[in-house]
Structure 1
Amino acid sequence: MASTVDPRFKMRYTAEDNKTTIQSRLKAEMQTLAMMVPPQETAQETSEEDAEAGCAPKKKMTLGSYFKTAEQALPLNNQKSSVSCELESYLQSSYLDSEGDPLKWWKEHEKIYPRLSKVAKKYLCILATSSPSERAFSSGGNVVTCLRSSLKPDQVDRLVFLAKNL
């Protein structure tokens, strides 16, 4: 699914028989993320109030506020159609250059594709390499040698931590 939300590839390298499955999973995830995130209007009002006050107090949610957000939400059929339209619009838009940064692209197009940008940020932030974990294992192999084979696990953890952070 990560390659689908990457504007450099979209569905270019996806097999034809998998496209409908991926699109339906993507639509379902867009709907669940849209339900979980509070409306943008309330978030902006809170941030403006915090800026005026000079501090960041947390606003308590009352029972009435839950009903208010439920009333503001789109009906399920309208939400499904808007999610479908948003996804189709994204898939029909032009590809990003292969040298371009997909996260910057999503930042620029966040207003056009609000639900899909949340899904993209969720999947594109995952590190695509195992280098950091490989480095940790390598430093662990350097710490635990034949002469230090009887170290207890807590000591090994501390020595690896020191080796990586000093």
Structure 2
Amino acid sequence: MHPEKFQEYRASTASDVMPAASGQKTITSFLNDGQQRMYDLKHPRQKAISDALVKDLIIKCCLPLSIVDNEDFKHFLHVLDPQYRPIARSTISSVTIPGMVEVKKEQIKNQLAEASSVAVTTDIWSDRKMRSFLGVTAHTYAKLKELIEVLDPFLEATNLTQGETTVTVSVIVPCVLTLRCHLQEIRGKARYCGPLVRALESSLKTRFAEVFSAVKIPGCEPAEGRGPTKFPFTNAYFIASVLDPAFGFQWLEHDVQLDSDIRDVLKTEIKEYIKAEGDKQAVSTADAAEATGPGEGELSESPPEKQLRMFSHYRRTPSSTEKKPSGQAQLTAYLNLIAEQDSDSVPCLRFWQQNKSKFPTLYQIATQVFSIPASSAPIERVFSHGGILMRPHRARLSSSMLSDLMFLKCNVYA
């Protein structure tokens, strides 16, 4: 060996890769200049993608850990973010998932420590390799209480809108607006049911977008390109709510957070809807009277009126001089009446039966809109009866006999 010659050789090779005094780049840095710089392992973007990959794909979507070794998946990640450094499978199995388990265990321990009582269920399960696992679920009273608090108004709304012998259409608008306010109030204090509350809010906003946009609630406008609301019964929903003495305009006062000017505009619009319906009823009544002529029309079951005796006209005002109040006047008097008295104690149909002579135009509108069902529950019950009748051991039952039995079940012996 010649140590001197070896040191000279190392010095000569080092001078080829080390930068010169003038700042010349090394060979390694020169080759790396054309490549994009990768994220550091502690970079926020690197951590966000890796955490989402494990939580969303491997845990929630139940994809295998080996997906991170797939070349096509690596190419997908490179297209998604060229600077992302793919996480290794060994890192996921030995670091990421165990760390997530420990964090979740601590959260569960803290929740159980605060619970006054816990109900536990256990079960044993075996996988395809016949490995046994013991499962334990814990149910706290606080979690169940919060779940009941979230869903209880929905149960009440379901019962109100699925009746067959009561008016249901008038509760749609108050129920929808009240449920929206309920979810907004409970969203901030929900500890266990936060995802459920957000899902219910989104579903409510999607299903009843026409109602929310009609009352001009911010953030509930129809989607771009959808145009104005085309739901056929939207106006009828609002008319029915106002003509129900249990509600009137109370839902607009309590469940819609709007400026007083906008609220007054909405009231005026709904009153105009009712006035327009009253004008239609007046025209149709006049046409029917002309078509039937005097003495014709509906037969009355009451006995014929007695002949007037002498001087009876002194105490009786001729009917020709009686003038029926306008629809606008009837609506104003009706709103004043339900504001003064406790209308909750009188059922909706009974109220209008008692006041049909006082508000004849509104009575005609009410009987028309109140006939609209709030849901498809009545017709679905009909086919539920059919499913009960058509049991497996009655396969020879003909379609005509099944139809007759369903008809009698729903109309005679219901």
Code of the aligned partner of 1:110: K
Gaps of 5+ in 1: 53-73
Return the alpha-carbon distance in structure 1 between the equivalents of residues 408 and 337 of structure 2: 49
Return the alpha-carbon distance in structure 2 between the equivalents of residues 20 and 43 of structure 1: 40
Match of 1:19 in 2: 267
Return the match for 1:124 from 344, 352, 370: 370
Alignment of 1:48-127 (within 5 A): 51=303, 82-95=326-339, 96-126=342-372
Give the deviation of 1:146 after TM superposition.
4.0
Return the alpha-carbon distance in structure 1 between the equivalents of residues 407 and 326 of structure 2: 49
Return the alpha-carbon distance in structure 1 between the equivalents of residues 344 and 360 of structure 2: 23
Give the deviation of 1:163 after TM superposition.
5.2
- 1:5-45 deviation per Cα after TM superposition (whole angstroms, max 9, x unaligned): 11121111135364333221111001111222247xx679x
Which TM-score applies when normalising by structure 1? 0.59
Give the deviation of 1:152 after TM superposition.
5.4
Match of 1:28 in 2: 276
Q: 1:100 to 1:149 in 2, by over 3 A?
A: same
Q: 1:156 to 1:104 in 2, by over 3 A?
A: closer
Which TM-score applies when normalising by structure 2? 0.27
Residue aligned with 1:8, SS: coil
User: Which range moves more in the overlay, 142-151 or 112-121?
Assistant: 142-151
Return the alpha-carbon distance in structure 2 between the equivalents of residues 162 and 123 of structure 1: 27
User: Which range moves more in the overlay, 21-30 or 123-132?
Assistant: 123-132
Q: 1:147 to 1:105 in 2, by over 3 A?
A: closer
CA radius of gyration, larger in: 2
Code of the aligned partner of 2:332: E
Gaps of 5+ in 2: 1-238, 257-262, 305-322
Give the deviation of 1:126 after TM superposition.
4.8
Greater relative contact order (Cα < 8 A, sep 6+): 1
- How many residue pairs end up in the alignment? 136
Residue aligned with 2:241, SS: coil
Return the alpha-carbon distance in structure 2 between the equivalents of residues 112 and 130 of structure 1: 33
Aligned residues: percent identity?
26
User: Is 1:144 the equivalent of 2:382?
Assistant: no
Match of 1:157 in 2: 403
Give the deviation of 1:155 after TM superposition.
4.2
Return the alpha-carbon distance in structure 2 between the equivalents of residues 4 and 162 of structure 1: 36
